[in-house]
Every structure is written in structure tokens, then in C-alpha cells.
Chain A
Amino acid sequence: MATQLASTVADETATPPRPRGGAGAKSAALAVLIFVAIVTTWHVLATSGAVSPLLLAPPGDVLAALGRMISDGSLWPHLSATVQETLFGFVLAVAAALVVGSAFAFSPILRNAVYPYILISQTFPKVAIAPLIVAIFGYDLAPKVVLAALLAFFPVLTNTIAGLTEVSDDEVNLFRSLRASKWQELRYLRIPNALAFIFPALNSAAVLALIGAIVGEFVASRTGIGYAIQQFTTTGEVAATYATLIVLSVFGLALYGVLTLTERLVRRNR
């Protein structure tokens, strides 16, 4: 994942126009075709012996493993742990980034003094300190939440600062000429402006939080999707490993969907 250092995203027109009529149907047909092609190739590779069964299970087996994990309930404790770690980490990171980002936006002195340290801490690969964080915070939820939050924090921070401060002189002069108070300038100019920067960052942050949680589980844990993946890999349960990966991607998609929906609601009401 690319952490956004200075590059910030603020494009209201980022969503491409939905293809109309026939074009939409064509896209959908093509998407289905690609899906079928992937699954077929996957199936052929796994059953023809081209790829060792120790590395790849056929799609049918993976689906069966997934069904088993759901029906016997063994999936839920793992999923619930990973979801909690990711969400707590994400919320913690976003809350902290919004507070710190706002403080920086309104105090350039503070920002200039503290920002270099945050930059250093961010260029440092936090995955490398995962064992240390586990040692500090123990083996339960806490270290994974901390890792998730650490990874998710930075993109939200930079985009919060950018969104609150990157208003043009003309915009500031307009508000001054309208005799707007500082609060009104915030309410009608800076916050709505910042939203266009913050929402794209939230999508990156959600993915990064999930990565943090999984890495934490890899290092030391008794539950979670990351833990399950490790277990299945070491015991050679290839189909189950792939099944958990599918669960992860569904969770990631769900996060993305919730964020997109929230964005639409918030933007409509700003």
C-alpha cells in the first residue's frame, strides 16, 4: 500500500461517469467473462497437476471448505477478532488523525515542530516493530488494534491537514468580505473542503488497518483470520487457506462499501 506522503487526493469528479445503456451491459458481460476465465484457469491449474495440490486447491474444494467453516461455526471467532481489531484500529486512527490534523492545520508552529517526527515514524516500516508491539501490549486484541491504527493514521492525517489548509486566497477573501466568523469559515469553507480530501484517505486507511491487524495476528495470536491462515498453511489445509482469503476480501469489500455509502450521505448534507 502506498502511504500518501505529500500527495493528496481531492477530486470531486474522481468517480468516472457511469457508462450508459449498452456500454454498461457490455461492461457487466465482460466482468462475468473475466470471472469465468479466472475460475476456469484456476480449476484447470489445480486439477491438471500443473500446480502442486500443496499450493493450490481447486475452486470447488475451496468453496466446500468455506461452507464447512460457516456451517460448523469455526469461522466466526476468527472473523470477529479480525473485524474488531480492524474497526477499533481504524476508528482510533481516524479520530486521532482528525484531532491532530486539525491542531496542525490551525497552528503552523506546532505543525512545523512536530511534523518531522511523525514523518520519520511513518517512513519507518511499522511491520518491523510488530514483534515489539506484541511484547508491549500482550497477545490479545490490543497489539493488533495498535498496529492497525499506526498503519491507518498517516494518510488520514496528511489529507486532513491538506483539506483544512488548502483553500485559496480568493476563498478566504470572499469569506472575509462576507464578514464570516472563524467558525463560519470552518463550517462553510474548510470542513466541506476537507471532506473531499479525507474520504479518499479513509479508503486507504481501512485497507491499511486490515493489513495491520493481519500482521499482528501473524506475529502472535490465538485467534483471527491471520492466525487461521497460518494454522491452515502449516497443517497443509490448502482449500481452507484459500477460503479464509476469500473471507478477507469480502470483508475488505464490505468496508469499502460502507465508506462509500457514508461519503455519499455526508457529502449530500454538507
Chain B
Amino acid sequence: MATRTLADAPARTTAAPSAITARAVTKTFEGKGKLVHALSDVDLEIEAGQFVSLIGPSGCGKSTLLKMIAGLLTPSTGTVAIDGATVTEPLPQIGVAFQKPTLLRWRNVLDNICLPLDIDGTRDAEGEARAVDLLGLMGLAGFEKHHPKELSGGMEQRVAIARSLITQPSLLLMDEPFGALDEFTREDLNDELLRVWQHEPKTVVFVTHSISEAVFLSDRVVVMSARPGRVHANIPVELPRPRERALRNTPEFYEAIRHVRAVLDDARAGERKGER
């Protein structure tokens, strides 16, 4: 077990959390001769330091929107800006976690976490110490020398999250990172993610299919509807922080889930009507 964690490590200079603004964003893909409208006229405002989840049915464009914030896709029309600067390519202050852990199988855990530092050319003893700290925080102390094939899916995803945090990003973008995990592992990782987030304040945009996950983690749940993808509703989650496991058993938590589910059902009903 780690005797040293981020909690008692000296304070580091972390960049202030980023704010995100999406204005009239549309995205049209060309597929098999016909145009697919993935996103239509999306406006979204995310204040610095907020934890915001994007939720919605398949095809609502939530991953597309996230990739645009990440600078991996460009909008067909409209703009996405981080801290006032229009995103045209991936910005240095972001960290990204994908649905698959996407670890390099020939690198051990420590080297995987340090990959962003290798690419920045800033890997040093301090960076590696931070990687070890992050690993401990994700519950994987002592696994530095292990290779991805020796890890379970949940452990791999923990490593991937540590990697996304190693550069101390002011904005963390997560694309269904726990979608492939079982319920118990998912809840563990939710707890760990919140712990890290409380320790290093940053803006988080989190794409998920799980209502309870979105409610547990977020300050605000953005409900999207499909065909074409658009923002259906913004639902603030007023549950107190810091949030611990016990919160999952409270009536307030269930009430919040029920509310989000109702709005989501409404969004999907609107879709079906739109299809007719």
C-alpha cells in the first residue's frame, strides 16, 4: 500500500479550471451518400470547475460533442471555445480518457502513465513520483512494473485515468470511461474519480449511459436527444459534496435519479414523435 498519497504530497501549482463555451454547434457526417446530422444547433456553457455529465440515447451526439471539445473533431458550423479560445486542435490543458483504456501493451503501468510526459519531453523524477502518487490514489499502489495484460479491465481503466491526469490538466474529458465495467467496479471508480477531482479541482466533461453514475458524479447533467443530436435539458444536481458511497442509499439520490430519468424519457418521447 502507498504510504504517500496526493493528500499529503506538497501542493502543486495546478492551472485554474477551464471554462467551455459551445455556440450554435452543428456536425454533419457524410456516410454512404447521405448526410447524417450528428449535432444540430447545440449551445452549451460549462463554468470553470464544474463536473458536467452528458447523457442521452445512442446517436445523440454526446461523444461527438466531447470530441469537438477535445479538438479531435471540428464543428461543421458554430464554435467550441475553451477559456475563450476557439478550439481548432487539441489544446495542451486537456486530459482525455476514452471508453477503452487504450494502454500501450509494451509499456508497463508507470511508463503508460508517463506517456504524456514523454511526448511533452518533460518526464523527470518529479513526474514519475507524481505518477506513483496517482497510481496510489487510484488504488493501484505497487503496480508500477506490471504490464497491461496482467491487469483486469477495471485496473486498466484506473491506469488510463491516472495517465489523463499526469499533466495536471485544467479540463478532463471522459468518453464513457466506465461503460465496459461491471456495476461494482464502476462505483469504485466513481468514488476514486471524485476523490481525485476534489483534490485537484478541474472542469470535467463526462459522457455516460448511466443515469446513476451521472447523478452521483455531476454538478449538472446535460440531457441530449437524438436525430438530430441536441441539448434537451440542463439538470442541476444539488446533492451535497463531498459525496461518499453512503449517498447512493439516500432518498435524495433516488429522487435526483428519478428526475433525470423523467427528463430523459421526455427527450426520447420527443424523438419518437419527431420520427413520425
Contact = CB atoms under 8 A, between A and B. Distances in A.
Given A12-B149, A188-B104, A176 B72 contact: yes
B70 A168 contact: no
B119 interface: yes
B104 A170 contact: no
B194 interface: no
A41 to B, nearest CB: 42
Interface stretch (B2-10, B42-50, B89-97): B89-97
Interface in A191-216: 192-193, 195-196
A173 B72 contact: yes
A270 B102 contact: no
Given A173-B72, A196-B106, A270-B106, A178 B98 contact: no
Contacts of A174: 96, 98, 102
B105 interface: yes
Contacts of B99: 170
B90 A179 contact: yes
Interface in A134-187: 168, 170-171, 173-180, 184
B115 interface: yes
Given A168-B102, A267-B106, A177 B94 contact: yes
Contact of A170 (B90, B102, B120): B102
A189 interface: yes
A27 B136 CA distance: 41
Contacts, number: 52
Given A12-B149, A168-B102, A196-B106, A179 B92 contact: yes
A71 interface: no
Nearest to A267: B106
A7 interface: no
Interface in B51-106: 67, 70-72, 89-90, 92, 94, 96, 98-100, 102, 104-106
A174 B89 CA distance: 13
Contact of A12 (B67, B92, B94, B105): B105
Contact of A192 (B90, B104, B149): B104
Nearest to B94: A177
B90 A13 contact: no
B69 to A, nearest CB: 11
A225 to B, nearest CB: 38
Contacts of A173: 67, 72, 96, 98
Contacts of B71: 176-177
A170 B115 contact: no
B116 interface: yes
A174 to B, nearest CB: 5
B102 A178 contact: no
A168 B113 CA distance: 19
B266 interface: no
B118 interface: yes
B204 to A, nearest CB: 15
Contact of A177 (B96, B106, B118): B96
Contacts of A178: 90, 115-116, 119-120
Interface in B109-128: 115-116, 118-120
A269 B274 CA distance: 57
A178 B102 CA distance: 13
B70 A177 contact: yes
A178 B149 CA distance: 23
A185 to B, nearest CB: 9
Given A13-B149, A170-B98, A170-B102, A177 B119 contact: no
A191 to B, nearest CB: 10
Contact of B90 (A12, A168, A177): A177
Given A178-B115, A179-B90, A171 B102 contact: yes
Nearest to B101: A170
Q: Which of B106, B115, B116, B149 has the most CB of A within 10 A?
A: B106
Nearest to B106: A192
Contacts of A179: 89-90, 92, 119
A180 B119 contact: yes
Contacts of A170: 98-100, 102
Interface of B: 67, 70-72, 89-90, 92, 94, 96, 98-100, 102, 104-106, 115-116, 118-120, 149
Given A12-B106, A195-B106, 10 more contacts: A12-B105, A168-B100, A168-B102, A170-B102, A174-B98, A176-B90, A177-B71, A179-B89, A188-B115, A270-B106
Interface of A: 12-13, 168, 170-171, 173-180, 184, 188-189, 192-193, 195-196, 267, 270
Q: Which 7 A-B pairs have the closest CB atoms?
A: A177-B96, A170-B102, A177-B90, A180-B119, A178-B119, A192-B106, A170-B98
5 contacts: A173-B98, A176-B72, A178-B90, A180-B119, A184-B119
